[in-house]
Structure 1
Amino acid sequence: MPLRGTAVPTALALALVAGCAPPPSSGDNVVAAAPRRPAVAPASKVPVQKISYPATGSGTYAAAPKEFAGPRSGGEVLRYRVLVEQEINGIAVGEFAETVRSTLADPRGWTAGGDRSFRRVGRGAQADFTIYLVTPGTRDDLCQDDANGYTSCRNGEAVVINVARWVKGVPRYAPGLETYRQYVINHEVGHRLGYGHQLCPGKGEPAPVMQQQTLGMHGCKPHSWPYRDDELYTGAAGQYNDSAPPREGAAQP
């Protein structure tokens, strides 16, 4: 059942299986058999779904199931829920949730200090915060800020990821989309943990994860993790007067 209101994708690998047999004996008076074509399993006909979403969704969500309660690093356990807006096509809730889980569990992430760990809970369970993947318009409803439809945000217990940034990233972010996705999760969860915006520490240096890398690098290099060399990596507190690019609309398949 879909989750409504405040309750808080996919490429399939196509495997080609080929037979392999030992060659015939090379002894005298042996006639080699004619070569046989290896058997090939038929390729799957399941189409690859493209990603699409409207400018604004309905505010109805699919919820990721709880994760297995395996070992944790110690400290405070923060429970979070993952919701994906129903009108986002081509991004399965489990796919998004796994990227979130692996990012939060990475040894360079927010658990590196040993004072906290994260656990995903399922529908209806008590959570400390919720991570949403939403359309640009719903982003504005949840963020309650300048309604730019471009950035992601954190508003109270809501960590809001704009699907437009999840799918497209931002211009000139050289490491690519995977790194940007790790950044935006860590940045917005960082706000939930109480960290504010930070400045680039120097030209050519890695950007702190709490720098607003979505809007500009200011001489720093893209960097997606809170910790470097087992130390929390920060810059001076503050933010730049960067404007968000124009609002984006729907994405068609």
Structure 2
Amino acid sequence: MLAVMYGGDLLRTPGPPPAGDGADAASGTPAPSRPSASAPPSPRPKADDDVRTGSPGHGSTGATYLEHGPGTFTWAAPASGRAGRGGKLVRYGVKLEDGTGLDAAAVAAEIDRILRDDRGWTRQGVASFQHVSGPPYDMVVQIVSPGTADELCGAWGLDTGGELNCANAPDLIVNVRRWVELSDQYKGRPHDYHALIINHEAGHVLGYGHRGCPGPGKPAPAMMQQIKGLDGCVANPWVYDEAGRFIDGPRVP
């Protein structure tokens, strides 16, 4: 099935599937290889770990949002230069549906900080990121109302039930309910939960697939579907640890 993304000023179809996953280490946890430009990320629709429901009361903001937004969007203007100098250049945009109760500039600034963090994908020259104000782009983060998330994700055959995010490269649909209320694994940790959403999807854009827990008590890879269960791992939103080691795990089919 060819998934089609629609909404606001976008009408896009994803590219062809990748030749392989860019981080398939047979053993150990080496730094990831740089994905080939000829191997774009898979267009297979997915409802990711950074998408499950969280209980009200441990949210990150006091934002009040519409359950069913108008379907109009505000693009966040770039406020910083390119992050990183090596690897694949990922052009990304940030747009918020009107009625989310969030400030577009503040949300974009947080996403910029996440992508520029030394524990993220810029480490070891894997990728660099450039915030853009509109097409063309390699990834666009859209924060939308629960109703709009259901509509957009439903176009890909996904049932998000007013609670989930979804993604189909280059589009990342973030349900504002999740952005505000977080998830049970990240109670009281809004920045970490937001970092998980962004780092996880950026990994897909770079060609990386899902990973499992590498062992009890170890940090969960950013590419792990953490909301589906940590399997003994510790919740972690980052690609690298503080010492610069790539946080990997067994490949999930």
TM-score clears 0.5:
yes
Higher RCO (CA-CA < 8 Å; seq separation 6+): 2
Deviation of 1:50 after TM superposition, in Å, equals: 4.3
For the 8 Å contact 2:139–2:202, the answer to whether it is kept is no
Q: CA deviation digits over 1:158-183, x for unaligned, max 9?
A: 02222111111112435622211111
1:176-191 to 2 correspondences below 5 Å = 176-191=189-204
Higher helix residue share: 2
Name whichever of 66-75 and 186-195 sits farther off: 66-75
Deviation of 1:137 after TM superposition, in Å, equals: 2.2
Aligned CA distance change for structure 1 residues 87 and 195 (closer, same or farther; 3 Å)? same
The separation in 1 between residues aligned to 2:185 and 2:8, in whole angstroms, is 36
Instruction: Name 1:237's counterpart in structure 2.
Output: 251
Counterpart pick for 2:183 among 164, 170, 174: 170
Aligned CA distance change for structure 1 residues 163 and 195 (closer, same or farther; 3 Å)? same
1:1-253 to 2 correspondences below 5 Å = 4-6=8-10, 50-69=62-81, 72-89=84-101, 91-123=102-134, 125-143=135-153, 144=156, 145-173=158-186, 176-228=189-241, 229-238=243-252
Deviation of 1:71 after TM superposition, in Å, equals: 6.5
Deviation of 1:108 after TM superposition, in Å, equals: 0.6
Q: CA deviation digits over 1:171-206, x for unaligned, max 9?
A: 243562221111111112222222222111222111
For the 8 Å contact 1:207–1:222, the answer to whether it is kept is yes
Equivalent residue of 1:191, what SS?
Answer: helix
Amino acid at match of 1:92: D
Q: Percent identity?
A: 35
- Where do 5+ consecutive residues of structure 2 fail to align? 1-6, 13-60
Amino acid at match of 2:221: P
For the 8 Å contact 1:83–1:131, the answer to whether it is kept is yes
The separation in 2 between residues aligned to 1:7 and 1:107, in whole angstroms, is 34
For the 8 Å contact 1:142–1:158, the answer to whether it is kept is no
After TM superposition, the score normalised by the length of structure 1 is: 0.69
The separation in 1 between residues aligned to 2:203 and 2:83, in whole angstroms, is 22
Deviation of 1:138 after TM superposition, in Å, equals: 1.8
- Where do 5+ consecutive residues of structure 1 fail to align? 9-48, 240-253
The separation in 1 between residues aligned to 2:171 and 2:195, in whole angstroms, is 17
Deviation of 1:73 after TM superposition, in Å, equals: 2.4
CA RMSD in angstroms comes to 2.4
The separation in 1 between residues aligned to 2:122 and 2:82, in whole angstroms, is 15
Deviation of 1:142 after TM superposition, in Å, equals: 2.8
Amino acid at match of 1:57: G
Amino acid at match of 1:185: I
The separation in 1 between residues aligned to 2:204 and 2:159, in whole angstroms, is 17
Q: CA deviation digits over 1:3-44, x for unaligned, max 9?
A: 934279xxxxxxxxxxxxxxxxxxxxxxxxxxxxxxxxxxxx
Amino acid at match of 1:198: R
Deviation of 1:152 after TM superposition, in Å, equals: 2.0
Equivalent residue of 1:57, what SS?
Answer: coil
Deviation of 1:66 after TM superposition, in Å, equals: 2.4
The separation in 1 between residues aligned to 2:251 and 2:150, in whole angstroms, is 25
